[in-house]
Chains A and B, each alone.
Chain A
Amino acid sequence: MAISVPINAPLTDSQAELTAKIGSMKSLLALPTIKKRNIPKENQMSTYDYLIKILDVMGLTPEIIFNAFLTKVFDQTGTFLEEKVLGAIADSIGQQGIQLSPYINNPSASSKIKKGYKANNKSYINGLVPANFLQVYKQKLAKDLLVMIFGPKQVTPTSLNTNQAQVNNLINNSVCGEGLFSLSNNPIVRNNDIEYNRIKLKQQLEKGEVVYEISCQDVKIKLPEDPGFIFNGGGTFTVPAGSVSPAQSLISMVQYTNNQVQRINNESNANSGGKSFYQILIEKLLSFISILVQPFLPNVFATINASLPTSQQVSQSNFVFDNCAISNDPENDNKKEFAKSLFNALLKDLLKLLLLFAIKKFKRLVANYFARTAMEKQRRKLEKAKLKFQVFGQLAENADKIAKYKAALETLATVLGVI
């Protein structure tokens, strides 16, 4: 075999520089160009998800805000929920082109005109219906919410709701509500997948063993045998304590779920599981609230109708629809209006609480960050200056080079001896 000696052809500095520069220029050209992404609003991350994400990166949990929100919604002395419900009724009537007073019935009105009808209806209804019409039902609302989340269908004397017809209705609406509401961006789910999810959810709710995905794992959650203690205080083996507020009961339920997750997992995951379930609970509350309040609306409509002539009276069945009616006719905006208005009104207040909390914490973080970095900068400057003075000792800044050198050398005198 012939000997082949590779040729040694080194590059000069300028040749090497040019080839390197050309290489780096080619690499830069190969980089993907940064495009300003103009994402339509409906495809952007939802405000709720984004605020949760911001709180997460700041190392905060939204638990405190969820507590405040639940307390606000289920406050037995306040009228927060009642105002939202009355607003939703007014919106639903206005959406169909009806203004109650002075009476107008114009179904083909533009959305701008309908907005005016809705505002007028709201002030009219607020003047008629007592602001606290749901006050005594708040605990029942909380109990029914848990029935919609956990089931079971079979009613026992210790069930949270002992009326079989009501429980059937709640579970049916819980199943129909699957995929109807979302605090996140709309996921791409095919219709047959939704049907499959609904069937699975129905089976779980009827059995009373619901599987939720908490912290990326499926967790089977079942209400305790005697769930009454959640609303009465105390524990399963203790004497019931004093009355607890509905919000406190729901917070206890989150704790109960937390414990169930802990039983099947380690403690760190249990905590995150509990927090994630809190988000599930809040999402379910917003989704189911229109169903939960419906049994208490006939009195509201009766009060409204009492002041209207017979020909102008409004019937609940024409303006308030349940989840099954909505999901069976998803293109009908009139049927959606009550649920949509109530869902968005509550969501708006939840976002307000989250946003104010995030801004407050962010302001503090930014102030601390700049103060800390300024201090660090100052400290480094000071240390550098100190070092300089240590070397130069008492010598003035403007001493000549030889004097400076001499002074610097003197710092080493302990080793080098006197110079």
Chain B
Amino acid sequence: MSAIPINPELQISEEVADFMLFLLNENRVALPKLSIKKILLVKARPGLSAEILAASITSRFPEAKIPNGPLGGGTPNSMEILIKIISEEIVEAIQSDMRVDVVTDPGATVTASGGNAGGPVVCVGATVAPHTGIGIAR
């Protein structure tokens, strides 16, 4: 046992780790906000496909030094089969079980028209409360 102790104020290994994790989080590239036009364009997306996803992943096997295709002696490549199963189950879960809740910011422009004895009336306003919606992921 060392008789001369290190000052407790110099025992900051946990704080060092926390600080570096903070730096890591701070430097993370935040996703840019999508414009309404870009969001509307997602209508053209084909949707998730377990097969396409599995093929994309297995095509990158060489990057991780994992062989593609059947193994020696024609043994099926278990890793490819596993990726296919995982992809199928994840896509299935997203398409069947995932829930999408949407909330719109207050301030959406509202216009209304009508009339009274004085003639036609046009109203312009904005929503004052957020509104919820639902969606499904596909």
Q: Please determine whether A186 and B2 come into contact, CB atoms closer than 8 angstroms.
A: yes
Q: Please determine whether B23 and A47 come into contact, CB atoms closer than 8 angstroms.
A: no
Minimum CB–CB distance from B56 to chain A (whole Å) comes to 8
Minimum CB–CB distance from B12 to chain A (whole Å) comes to 5
Minimum CB–CB distance from B28 to chain A (whole Å) comes to 7
Chain B residues whose CB sits within 8 angstroms of the CB of A362 once the complex forms: 20, 23
21 A/B residue pairs, CB under 8 Å, sorted by A: A41-B8, A46-B6, A47-B10, A47-B11, A50-B13, A50-B16, A182-B6, A186-B2, A326-B3, A327-B3, A339-B4, A344-B6, A344-B7, A344-B10, A347-B7, A355-B16, A359-B19, A359-B23, A362-B20, A366-B24, A398-B44
Q: How many angstroms between the C-alpha atoms of A182 and B20 in the bound complex?
A: 25
Chain B residues whose CB sits within 8 angstroms of the CB of A351 once the complex forms: 10
A367 within 8 A of B: yes
Chain A residues whose CB sits within 8 angstroms of the CB of B97 once the complex forms: none
Q: Please determine whether A50 and B24 come into contact, CB atoms closer than 8 angstroms.
A: no
Q: Please determine whether B1 and A186 come into contact, CB atoms closer than 8 angstroms.
A: yes
Bin chain A's interface residue count: 35 or more
Chain B residues whose CB sits within 8 angstroms of the CB of A366 once the complex forms: 23-24, 27
Q: How many angstroms between the C-alpha atoms of A367 and B24 in the bound complex?
A: 9
A397 within 8 A of B: yes
Nearest 6 CB-CB pairs, A to B? A50-B13, A182-B2, A330-B3, A344-B7, A366-B27, A41-B11
Bin chain B's interface residue count: 20 to 34
A198 within 8 A of B: no
Q: How many angstroms between the C-alpha atoms of A181 and B19 in the bound complex?
A: 28
A297 within 8 A of B: no
Minimum CB–CB distance from B25 to chain A (whole Å) comes to 10
The A interface, classified by DSSP as helix, strand, loop or mixed, is helix
Residues of chain B having any CB pair with chain A under 8 Å: 1-8, 10-14, 16-17, 19-20, 23-24, 27-29, 44
Q: Please determine whether A359 and B2 come into contact, CB atoms closer than 8 angstroms.
A: no
| Contact status of A46 and B23, CB under 8 A, knowing A179-B1, A327-B3, A330-B3 | no
Residues of chain A having any CB pair with chain B under 8 Å: 41-42, 44-47, 49-51, 54, 179-183, 186-189, 326-327, 330, 336, 339-340, 343-344, 347-348, 351, 355, 358-359, 362-363, 366-367, 370, 374, 397-398
Q: Please determine whether A42 and B10 come into contact, CB atoms closer than 8 angstroms.
A: no
Q: How many angstroms between the C-alpha atoms of A363 and B6 in the bound complex?
A: 28
Q: Please determine whether A367 and B3 come into contact, CB atoms closer than 8 angstroms.
A: no
| Contact status of A189 and B4, CB under 8 A, knowing A47-B11, A359-B20 | no
Cβ-closest chain B residue relative to A336: B4
Chain A residues whose CB sits within 8 angstroms of the CB of B12 once the complex forms: 47
Q: Please determine whether A42 and B3 come into contact, CB atoms closer than 8 angstroms.
A: no
Chain A residues whose CB sits within 8 angstroms of the CB of B1 once the complex forms: 179, 186-189
Chain B residues whose CB sits within 8 angstroms of the CB of A44 once the complex forms: 11, 13-14
